[in-house]
Amino acid sequence: MRIRIVAGLVAALAGVVTFTASPASAGASSGAQGAHCVVNLDTGKVACDDTEQQARQLADVGVLAVNAVKLYDRKNFDPDAGTFTITTTRSCTSAYEHEYSYNMAGGAWNNRASSVETFNSCDVKLYDAAGPPSDPNLTGGSTWIDRAADLSAIGGGWNNRASSLRIS
């Protein structure tokens, strides 16, 4: 009797999975793989969609949140091929310290950024390897970047290279 109930439950769950798998993957093709991604640093939630505005809503970015860093797939802050915006609810401090870090490795934004902007007193430091960056003294990675229209001109060349970053 008990076995029969469990078997029925498994069958019911299998039915649910089969039923939802198709619409879920259809949503992923327009959502998770969208060109514009937004990170909500306060919650860790990340969403991608066809527009930055839609991605902000999906990532539950509130009206009080501000942009910290924005990466562009293309040079010269051209958003057409994709953007990656990191948001938070407070501005960065003026000192260079470890305020936030973010790991792009394993995702669509690994080795992709070609230009970058920062906002609200934030600067960004790019790292070649997967993160979070392990250098406690902030000695590795690129220089601190406020704004770069062409990341190939930064240091040893950072075009399509960043796999993680720090924000200060």
Chain positions contacting Ca ion, by CB under 5 A: 73, 111-112, 114, 128, 160-161, 163
Rounded to whole angstroms, how far apart are CA atoms 82 and 72? 6
Between β-strands 83-88 and 36-40, what pairing exists: parallel, antiparallel or unpaired? parallel
Shortest CB 145 distance to Ca ion, Å: 15
Tokens for 62, please give them.
């509130």
Nearer to Ca ion, 100 or 109 (CB): 109
Least CB distance from residue 55 to Ca ion, whole Å? 18
What is the residue-wise DSSP string for 37-69? EEEETTTTEEEEESSHHHHHHHTT--TT-EEEE
Q: Cβ 74 to Ca ion, closest distance in Å?
A: 6
Residue whose CB is less far from Ca ion, 69 or 92: 69
Nearest Cα neighbor of 144 from 92, 104, 107 is 92
Give whichever of 90 and 131 is closer to Ca ion, judged by the CB atom.
131
Q: Token digits for 31?
A: 């959502």
Least Å from the CB of residue 65 to Ca ion? 25
Tokens (6 digits) for 146: 């406020």
Q: Which is nearer to Ca ion, 40 or 114 (CB)?
A: 114
Identity of the residue, 85 or 163, whose beta carbon is nearer to Ca ion in the bound complex? 163
**From CA 154, how far away is CA 3, in angstroms rounded?**
64
